[in-house]
Structure 1
């Protein structure tokens, strides 16, 4: 972003990252602007890529998707072609809600959401292991989620933002 964030931008971002359903008028009122300048700021933040997209967060438990697992994945041979093939395959798997390349003895960390242990086992066997790229998987079943947020820590962007958020 070419223009630096100011305290009003930070407040706008804080509001909409907690509730993307707020109207521009509601955001404007809460930050002390009229709707037009507030809309222009939001549009600038979208155009610059600071705001990537707006989403609705669903209650997975109410949908019957309460089984969550973190898996470290080690590829058999971590060549560029195998890394690309694995990442392409993972992008199409709805059960994988997060995938990151990591340092250490593993190549990837996956966060997987399914209905239950049986669905997870079938997913692992039929979708991940069937790729023929994986040499090792270590799975950790989530017992209870202590903190789960999508909010960026805006106070870390710069010190004057921490005071305003």
Structure 2
């Protein structure tokens, strides 16, 4: 599959992001195409990795994970061993739902979900701050989600 999606692919992807369980016949009707053409497009996008999985979205608060923390991590050094070790350890923490490397003053930003502030404090002291090479961690607790979506606006081209 080419790097770019066409208009039909974009319409399919945008609708699937709204409801991944939409029946194929309804999806085909909404994009004005045949069921077989839509099914083939979905299969191609899955094989190409454009569609990387199907999941259920949870309400974090109702699931008992009401505290969202953004942790900015600075490392002591950027050696061959320190950064990969940090990334490997972070991947193993279920509290960390996202981790990104950054350019600039901060090396990593982590999105952490926990039940309460005490749970974050325990995670901070017993796990995150114990990773070799961590110099500084600045944590910010989110108060209100102004926008929280997983939907990407896919456009053709």
**Normalised TM-score (structure 1):** 0.89
Alignment of 1:48-127 (within 5 A): 48-127=48-127
- Give the equivalent residue in structure 2 for 1:8: 8
CA distance in 1, matches of 2:98, 2:80: 20
5+ residue gaps, structure 1? 159-165
Local SS of the residue matching 1:112? strand
8 Å contact kept, 2:68–2:142: yes
Which is bigger in relative contact order (C-alpha 8 A, separation at least 6)? 2
CA distance in 1, matches of 2:39, 2:142: 40
Once the two structures are overlaid, the 10-residue window that deviates more, 134-143 or 145-154, is 145-154
- Give the equivalent residue in structure 1 for 2:148: 148
CA distance in 2, matches of 1:72, 1:149: 21
5+ residue gaps, structure 2? none
8 Å contact kept, 2:68–2:114: yes
1:25, distance to aligned residue in structure 2 (A): 2.1
CA distance in 1, matches of 2:66, 2:80: 34
State the aligned residue count.
Answer: 157
- Give the equivalent residue in structure 2 for 1:23: 23
Q: 1:134 to 1:3 in 2, by over 3 A?
A: closer
**Normalised TM-score (structure 2):** 0.94
1:3, distance to aligned residue in structure 2 (A): 7.0
RMSD, matched Cα: 1.4
